[in-house]
Every structure is written in structure tokens, then in C-alpha cells.
Structure 1
Amino acid sequence: MTIKNLLLPALAALIFLLPITAAAQADYPAVKGAWLTNVDSDVLHSRANIAEAIDLCDSIGINTIFVVVWNKAMTLYPSNVMKEMFGEEIDPSLAGRDPLRELIEEAHKKNISVIAWFEFGLSSSYKLDGGRILKLKPEWKALNNKGELVEKNGFEWMNGINPEVQDFLLSIIREVVKNYDIDGIQGDDRLPAMPVEAGYDNYTVQLYRQEHQGALPPKDFRNPQWIDWRAGKLNEFMQRIYRSVKDIKQSVIVSMSPSIFPWSKEEYLQDWPEWLRQGMVDMVCPQLYRFEIGEYVRALDEVVKSQISKKDLVKFYPGVLLKLGSYYATEDYLKSVITENRKRGVEGEVFFFFEGLKKYPDLFRKYYRNPERAGN
């Protein structure tokens, strides 16, 4: 698996990690991946559907599946953490089954890796005024400078700087890593993340005051220093995620799929180039979701030329928009994306999302199963 070194202040710890990470890195192939959702897809509805999906992935050369395990504030596996804290063990539509275990078993038969994708991240609900999590835990709310619950693009948010909120997310991440033969975990544009409008809850304000001689945070949520401070706190959370996973199983990949930078930091306090610089991630899949190849290439070049070092290029697998609602990327667009990636030394990509693979099986088979024929 592609595991890079975590830069630790203690030299002894660094020396301890080096042989493990180097060996794992040599064994992990370039990622040809797809996100598997529980929205606009029925794959997770039965084991038979899962097996059929795995057969398709195997036949066309998809070697990594990023499967949703946390969405709409519910787990898609039986969770003791969720049962004890919020009284609901699993998404009710999946009750009586364990889709995550089924998927891992079917995928591993075909040597396909499975990354547990915590899609909902630090959101508590979508257009539900915080949902049951914040109804039971109102102190977890992310608040804006008017003292209101933060809502952005329909999503309501928990406060990602609050250690209790962090501990909750870490508890479900650890639960998956401990209980499943998972190959990796992934956060996205909602983990670790928080809307730039947030940070005005009592906990965060008091923490800021402690570190700034009693001064209150700026009322302007776009104040650059205030953005840097909050992004720094989320960087610390990213470090906690990384260490929590590695302390359980060193070989498990820690992957993130943030928005493009600097928009990710300006809007959601995600300074993911810093995560790479500090060795907090093993894989990064920025969402380079574009509809025209020229726009994609511009976004790709920004990452390759200024946001990621040459040594970290092996960690970079861009997220590519394949399907969204009734939209499908064209075959020519997909060919160009793969070609442009390879020109820049980017040896794989991750497609959003699985259902789009069904439209172009021959294309993916040609590029992934028979790459020597892709230029013909």
C-alpha cells in the first residue's frame, strides 16, 4: 500500500515507522478507483448487487472502491457507537445486514481494495435544522457570527474544532478500522472541514481568546488571520485522524478527497496542501470536477505545479466527475483526462461515481486492463 512517512517530532518514532511505510508503499498499485454511494445507486441494497458490481469493476480494471459508510448522519454498517449514542445502529434501509462486510469480502476475492468513505463528515443533517445529532447534542453546533446554526448549501454543521465532536468522528473511524479488514479510510470536502462562516460558538471563542490575550475573534469570518487559525485547528484534527488510524493498523491508508485549493480553505477551512507537507495523508484525491477538458487541465496543472511536491505526486489521484444525476461525461472527455494525467506522471484517478462505469465498460477496459492498446 502507498503509505508515506509521517513526520514526527521524535526521531525514534520516525525511525520506527520508516521500514513499515517503505515496504507498504512498494506493494500498493496505482489507484484506478470509483466512489460507491448509497444515493442514485442500488448496489448496497443486496449482496447479489454487490457481487455484480465487483464483477464489473474487476472486468474493467477498477482496483479500488471508495464505499460510503457514513451518510445522512447514519452509518451503513452496524455501529455500536451510533447505537449507544443516538439509538440507531445502522441506516434503517439496511437493517439486518452488514453491507460493508459483504463488500469487503466480495472485493477482496478479486484483489480489489476497499476504502471506507465517511462522506457526511462533520455535517449533522441536510435541511433538517441539525437533525437528531444536534437535537441530542446542541453544544456540538457550529455557530455563525449571529449565533445561528451554520447552514451551507443545505447542510447543517457540527463544530469540527470542538474536541467532543472530533472524538465522536474518531470513534466511528476507529470502529471501522478495528472491526473490518478495510484497506483505508477517507474523508472528503466535509471531513475535516467546517464552513468559513463557523467558529463563533462558545468553545471556539474561548479557545481563541486563550491564545490571543483575551481578544475576541474577528466578526469578519473572512479575516485572513482568523481563517488561518481555524484551518490550523482542523489541521490538528487531521493529525489526530491520521494517528488514530495508524495506532490501530499501520497499513491502513488515510485518504482525503477535499475540494480544490485554495477554494477549499477559503470556504471550508481545508488547507490540504499542508496535510501533504506535514505527512498527514497517504493519498489525496482532490475533486477536480470539471465539464470541459481545458478547465480540467488548468485545475490539474495548478495541483501538479504549485500545490503538491514531486515526492508526493505518488499520493495524488484526482477525483474525476463521471456521472451526476442525468449527466455523463463524454467518452472523449474521459480519454483526454486519463491521457493528460499520465502526461504529468499521475498514474491513476478516482471517478465519481460507480454507476457511470456501466456506460463505458469498453473504454475503461482498454485503458485499465489493456493500457498498451489505449493509444490505438
Structure 2
Amino acid sequence: MRLYKYFFAALLSVLTYTTACAQGPLVGDTATDIEIDTTRQPKYEMRAVWIATVVNLDWPTNARATAEAQKKELADEMSVHQQNGINAIMFQVRPAADALYAKSREPWSKYLTTKQGQDPGYDPLEFAVAEAHKRGMELHAWFNPYRATFDNKFWTLAQDHVTRTHPDWFFIYDGIKLFNPGIPEVREYIVQVILDVVKNYDVDGIHMDDYFYPYPVRGQVINDAETFAKYGADFDNIKDWRRNNVDQLIHMMADSVHKYKPRMKFGISPFGIWANKSQHPDGSATNGGSSYIENFADTRKWMQEGWIDYLSPQIYWHIGNRAAGFDVLLDWWSNNTYNRHLYVGQAPYRFYEQRSPAFKNPSEIPNQLRLIRANPRVQGSIYFRSQSLIANANHLADTLRKDFYRYPAMPPPMMWLDSVPPNPVQNLTARAENRGIMLKWNAPVVAEDGEAAYGYVVYRFQGSEKFDLADPKNIVHVQYDTTPYYFDTNIQRGQTYFYVVTAIDRLKNESDRSPTMAMKAP
């Protein structure tokens, strides 16, 4: 996510987003709800949140805390998100060429202990994956690809930090060190860094943010002329060469991730504008900074080429914004998905910004969600950021829990990665016990593609209810493990319930239903 260099303390740590010229003049607040029928909620929808670790934004909020205290804080944070209907975590594991995981070629992040390179005494990523899966949530490892430092205090870097071992790989821009994307060895290094996680952790996805080439800063110059002279012979224009450098990284990364883990998702979260129509004939009807021009990141091409599985553009403006309206950008991105998934980056943190009056309106983000659900080419949302939801900014968490996310949903399947569903579960049984109903079953036989079941979904019906597995209100339990039982304690004494169980694979393809099992509650 695009951050200012300095942060302000208030009731909670509030992130300020650099909106550049795209913020533009404000139009009137969206005073009334957009009337779109959302009475039937989707069974498949990405409902994710970014947990930022850079400068201890979301977690750990205290880098001096003990390992057990940090683990408890993260587990508690995930529990709140689970209660609010979130089904995926974007967990920042590499803020600045450092690591929040043990199996890394880079030093431990200072945001764990205050000192870069100091072992925190546990593996945060391993812990985070286990806690997310325990709660029926995916976990995507979020990497900042090119940022090597977050400040200019270079003397605090660990002795084995890559800026010390390969000083020729970097340029300084606006006081921080950045990898030079034009150097082939840099691209290979970043791929290998990410593959350390792909190979060693049970993450569900690899996620990159919007920091490719740096956002323009007045008076600053990207010092890569020598690199262009050395490697850019095939290009007349340094801008096209820079864009190609980023293309190469993304293509290499996609091939590498899917080689080692064919079912692992790979996604990017770019700036909210790809290009303005004034900059490119295929651009959006907007007027602001853009990833194509400023970051040399051709995210639209990556979708066209099938290099990435999803995009989550940071559409951090309100509906009707004159320079960059949420509604305008939602339509543009949804028309440029090329049959990949689109998860819209939304901005509850802006409620805390004085210069963002539209986000003081409690209907703003709910209205955005209504527009998202009305568009069949959009598969969900990712919220920036975790502490804003934890703090229930503008009552959004209440709204999600009680309304939009009242019923569970699974992340949507990606048919281009895996289209073969599991086989049905076997031998479902039910038994009434003192405090509830115990369901047990046997695992299904291995699917046609050789994949065993990854988890299960339990549905419950009563009375004359239609046995509709497409309606998520009938889901009582989703689990991301192979435990072949479920104990239903949310029952009414004397009531008869009807149960169906299905198996799911890693990408949430679902098996046929089991036979129905009826049981009267004790």
C-alpha cells in the first residue's frame, strides 16, 4: 500500500494514503443507499483484509512485546475478522527486504523486535497460516518487491542485509534504498526470495503490493541511466524499458510460483488507476496518478497474458469523485479482467482522514459494496486496513457482520488453476449428544486429478426448508482441514435438523453432496 513516510498517533494508528492529484475536488456525499437487491448473499466471494506490519501499523503493535504476547495479539485480531465474516488475510511478510518468517535468506524484520536481524523466538508466518486456516480463512503472503529500506537510517541495517552484500543493486530515491529493477540479478533474487515462502509454507497465495518503480517525488530522479545503457539496447525509450523490466519480474514470478505450487494463487494490488484516457487510449475516464505511467507497472497486460490470478486495485476514492470516481474505476477494471479475478481494494481507513469527508458518510462503503455485488465481473473486496476494521471505523465492521457478511462465503474457485472437484464424502452419520449433534464421515476417495480433500462444508436445514446448497445461509461450518467430524451445538431442543456435507479442495471446488442425514436434537 502506498504510505506517507511519517505517521500520526491518534485513537489508533491511522495510515494516510497519498492520493496525489487523483483525489481532486469532492462532490457531494452519497446521502442515500444505492438500491440494489442484495437479499441473497453470494456463496463465493473474496472478503479479505490487509494486515500491515511495516512500522507496526496493524501487527505487532508493540515490537518489544514477548513472542507469546505477539502471537496472542495476532490470533485475537484474526478472531475479530472471522466474526466479521472475513475469509482471507493478506499478511505482510516482507516490508523492506526483511522477513517475518524463519525460512528466509533475508534478515528478521525490525518490526518484530526493534532490531533488524534479531530472532523473535518463533516463526510469525508459520503461526499466522495455522491460525488463519483454523478459522476457515485463507492466508496470502504479502511482499513488497522492490523497497529495500523504509527510511535513511542505513547504519541500523543488519550486516547480512542485501543492501550491504550487493550495494550495486540499488539506487536511492527520496531518501530510501530501492532495488534497481533493470538488473537481471535483482529480478532473479526477488523471485528466489518469494520462492522461499512458496516452497516452505502452506500459504494460499503470493501477493504483491503497488511498489514497483517509485512514485514520483518532486526533485527526485531515478538513477538508472547506466543500467539502461547496459541492458536497454532493444529499447528506444527508457520508460518502455522500465515497464518491460517489471513485466519480466511478474512473468518470472508467475511461472516460478505455479511450477512449484500449481494451485497457489498469485495476485497484485496496484494503484487504483491503470492509466488515464489522456495518457493511453484504453485508459479510464479519470485524472490522476497512474501505475502505467508512474510505477511503470502494466497491470492490465499481466491480466491479459494470464500471468496473475487476481488483481486488487486500490480504488480508494468515493463514489462520484470528479477526478477518480469509485464507480468509474470499478467499471473500468471490471471490463479489463480478461477472465481473471478482480477483488476491489477498499479504504475504511479514510474515515479517519480530515480531508476525506465523503468517507464520514456511513453509507459510502456499503454503497460501494452494493456496486461490487451488482457487477458479475467482480469477485469481492480487500480492506485496507486491519486496525480500521478492528476499530469498527464508521461502524463498517458492524455492517459487515450483521448485513453484507451475515452468512459465510468461500473465496471463489479459479477454474484455470483447478477445475476438478473432490469426490463426495462417505458414510455420513449423526448422533444426538447432551449438548448437540455429532456428525461424522469418512474422507472421499482421491479425485481424478490426484488431489485429496482439503476441507469440508457442513449444511443444515430444518422443517420444510428447500435443500438449496447455493444459498450460504444454509452453511453452518466451513473447515480447512481434514478432520472428519463436526459437533453442532447451536441447536434448539426437540428440533429436527437435516444435514448435508461436501468436500472442498484447495481452490474451493466442491464435491457433490452427501446423502441427507436427519437428527432430532436432544
One-letter code aligned to 2:238:
W
The structure-2 alpha-carbon separation of the partners of 1:41 and 1:274, relative to structure 1 and needing over 3 Å to count, comes to same
Q: Give deviations 1:113-169, integer Å, cap 9, x for gaps.
A: 000001x32012123176744343221123xxxxxx333xx5432101212111221
Contact 1:66/1:115 (<8 A) preserved = yes
Q: CA deviation at 1:298?
A: 2.6
Task: Describe the SS at the equivalent of 2:49.
Answer: strand
Kindly indicate which of the two structures has a greater share of residues assigned to helix: 1
How far has the Cα of 1:302 moved from its partner? 3.5
Q: Distance in 2 between matches of 1:160 and 1:310?
A: 26
Q: Give the length in aligned residue pairs.
A: 317
Q: Letter of the aligned partner of 2:405 in structure 1?
A: Y
Name the CA shift for 1:339/1:155 in 2 (closer, same or farther; >3 Å): farther
Determine if the alignment matches structure 1 residue 339 to structure 2 residue 370. yes
Could you tell me how far apart the structure 2 residues matched to 1:107 and 1:311 are?
Answer: 30
Structure 2 residue ranges without an equivalent (≥5): 1-42, 62-68, 114-118, 276-289, 409-470, 472-522
Does the aligned pair in 2 maintain the 1:78–1:90 contact within 8 Å?
no
Which of 130, 134, 138 matches 1:113? 138
Q: Does 1:295 align with 2:318?
A: no
Q: Choose from 222, 244, 258 the match for 1:246.
A: 258
SS state of the match for residue 126, structure 1? coil
Q: Shift of residue 303 of structure 1?
A: 5.0
In the alignment, what sits opposite 2:301? 274
SS in 2 for 1:34: strand
Which of 282, 304, 316 is 2:331 aligned to?
304
**Structure 1 residue 323 and structure 2 residue 336: aligned?**
no
Cα distance in 2 between the residues matched to 1:304 and 1:229: 30
Whether the aligned pair in 2 keeps the contact of 1:159 and 1:194 (CA below 8 Å) is no
User: Which stretch shifts more, 324-333 or 167-176?
Assistant: 324-333
Higher strand fraction (1 or 2): 2
| Pairing partner for 2:387 from 340, 355, 359 | 355
Structure-1 separation of matches of 2:327 and 2:122: 40
* 2:197 is aligned with 1:171: no
Shift of 1:72: 3.2
Give the deviation of 1:194 after TM superposition.
4.9
- State the TM-score, normalized to the length of structure 1: 0.76
Change (3 A) 1:300 1:185: farther
1:261 aligned partner: 274
Question: Quick one: which of 406, 419, 436 aligns to 1:369?
Answer: 406
Distance 1:140 1:177, change over 3 A: same
Paired with 1:185 and 1:42, the residues of 2 have a C-alpha distance of 19
Distance 1:46 1:163 in 2: 38
Shift of 1:90: 4.4
- Aligned in 2, Cα 1:139/1:205: closer, same or farther, shift over 3 Å? same
What residue in structure 2 maps to residue 99 of structure 1?
A: 124
Alpha-carbon offset, residue 337 of structure 1: 1.1
Preserved CA contact (<8 Å) 1:50 1:102: no
Q: TM-score, normalised by structure 2?
A: 0.56
CA distance in 1, matches of 2:299, 2:154: 27
Cα distance change on mapping 1:37 and 1:281 into 2, 3 Å: same
| In 1, Cα distance between equivalents of 2:325 and 2:270 | 17
Which one has the largest radius of gyration? 2
Amino acid at match of 2:344: P
Over 3 Å counting, the alpha-carbon distance change for 1:195 and 1:356 in structure 2 is: closer
Q: CA deviation at 1:207?
A: 1.3
One-letter amino acid matched to 2:382: V
Offset at residue 198 of structure 1 (A): 3.1
Q: What is the 5 A alignment of 1:1-376?
A: 29-38=44-53, 39-43=56-60, 46-82=70-106, 88-91=107-110, 92-93=112-113, 95-118=120-143, 120-128=144-152, 132=157, 133-142=162-171, 149-151=172-174, 155-191=176-212, 193-194=213-214, 197-198=221-222, 200-209=224-233, 211=234, 225-259=237-271, 260-262=273-275, 263-290=290-317, 292-295=318-321, 298-302=325-329, 304-305=331-332, 308-309=335-336, 311-312=338-339, 315-323=341-349, 326-327=352-353, 329-330=359-360, 331-345=362-376, 346-358=378-390, 359=392, 360=395, 361-365=397-401, 366-370=403-407
Deviations 1:222-274 (A, max 9, x none): xxx43223212211211001011111101110010011212102111011001
